[in-house]
Amino acid sequence: MAGRTLRSKAGLAARRLRELGEATGLRCEYERNRPAVAVGDQRYQQGLLWSEEIEPAGGFTVVSGDALWHAYLQLDLDVGAKGPVGHASYHARPHGLCQRADDAEVVLKRVFRPPHLRPTLIGGDWNGVSADLPGWPPRARGPVGSWREYDHDPYHLRHGQPCTTVEWHPEFIYQCRTWMNADGSLGWEADRTAGRILRDGGLVDAAAALDVPWAATVGHWPGDQVCGPRRIDIVRTIVEVVSALVSCEVLATDLTRKASDHLPVLVRYAPAAIATGAWERAGG
């Protein structure tokens, strides 16, 4: 039964990815009749699309099942760089703070353990607040007492409204570290453990590195107002690709706001500007 269910989910995911590719004029097959999809144990599946002028270059990998709540999908593409560049999609678990952090380690292992190491960009719903500092090399931000990380804590202060304190809500338990204050009141803050693991492990938040104006990716959808605007959809890359980053923006239009509860993130990079050390470390 489990095998039939998995095949059914894979077939549906493949059909939907092909439909999306046809609607957008993008490719999705890394080999003949093999669309780039990853099927996890949950209802949301991963997929990759690329433009006609780009060719797959091998390295198709899926991590799913017991290893992750959803899945991790990666494919090497020939984008005109010195060597193949990995492009990946990841969806982190929506709850389980410790397990989310453990899953971050799984992603790092996939990206950095030989023989897989190569320049890689990962677009994902990380289901948590980033811990990256703004700028590259990273630096402290603003005067003493201001937010240190690129992302503010959305469970305490509304972005752009530093005097607006967010009241506790039980939904925060999936996203926050909590404690009891001396007066018996509840204390909490955004749990950035997974973000710190990714940051310290070598995966850089593109928006933070470029220090672009902050923009939320969720919080606009009906029914998602409790936690307010947050930025949990992030493109991450290895250090050697940071020099090649050109721009990063959240596509917030009437259409994208209506289409999904998550807004798309667009990152542009110059393949020729990727540091050659990325392939040298990979032995490529």
Is residue 98 within 8 A of residue 191, CB to CB? The reply is: no
Q: Quote the pLDDT of residue 228.
A: 81
Q: CA-CA distance, 64 to 69, in Å (whole number)?
A: 7
Give the burial string for 89-108 (b: 16+ CB within 10 Å, else e). bbbbbbeebeebbbbbeebb
Q: What is the predicted pLDDT for the residue at 1?
A: 41
The pair of structure tokens assigned to 167 is 């009241």
Fold annotation for 79-137+191-282:
Deoxyribonuclease I; Chain A (3.60.10)
Element (H, E) at 184: none
Mean pLDDT by 10 residues, the chain (284 residues): 64 92 95 92 88 95 88 95 95 94 96 83 96 88 65 80 74 94 92 97 97 94 79 97 97 94 96 84 53
pTM: 0.91
Q: What was the pLDDT predicted at 4?
A: 54
Tokens representing 250 are 């959240």
Q: Using alpha carbons, select from 278, 218, 215, 204 the residue that is nearest to residue 250.
A: 215
For the chain, domain boundaries: 79-137+191-282
The pair of structure tokens assigned to 135 is: 């700028």
